[in-house]
Amino acid sequence: MKRKPHIRIKGLGRQQPRHSLLPLVVAVVLASLVFGFTSYVLNQAYDGTKETFLQRLSEEQKASVLNRHLKMEILAVTRKSYMEFVAEERLGLKKPKEEEVLVLR
């Protein structure tokens, strides 16, 4: 029996056809552009929402401070010592002496 010196396998010696990289490059560039545009739009929307939130928060903080001051002022006005202080300092009134008080019945 004779052996054949060369064994051939069909298709192994052929070179695969080269695929073009152009569609891949176009797809990557297009995906990058879409991602960049989406990021920009979302960033602008986020900034607008953040600005509105901070403005409302600032207004609420001002209202809270004003409310606190008004509560303190109400407490101060209702005290007897404050009323005496206002009468003396701002209006120039003084406490009457015993002989100046006239009681009518």
Mean confidence (pLDDT) of the chain = 84
State the pLDDT confidence band at 13, using cuts at 50, 70 and 90: low
Token pair, residue 87, equals 């009468």
Please check whether residue 32 is in contact with residue 24, taking contact to mean a CB–CB distance below 8 angstroms: no
- In the DSSP assignment, the letter for residue 97 is P
Is a pLDDT exceeding 80 seen at residue 17? Answer: no
Contacts of the segment 58-66: beta carbons below 8 A, 24+ positions apart: none
Is a pLDDT exceeding 80 seen at residue 4? Answer: no
Give the residue carrying structure tokens 């609420």. 60
Amino acid 44: pLDDT: 93
Instruction: Average the pLDDT over 45-63 and give the result.
Output: 95
Residues 85, 91: Cα–Cα separation, whole Å: 9
Where in the chain are the domains?
23-94
Instruction: Average the pLDDT over 53-81 and give the result.
Output: 91
Q: Using the CB atoms, write b or e for 86-95: b if 16+ within 10 Å.
A: eeeeeeeeee
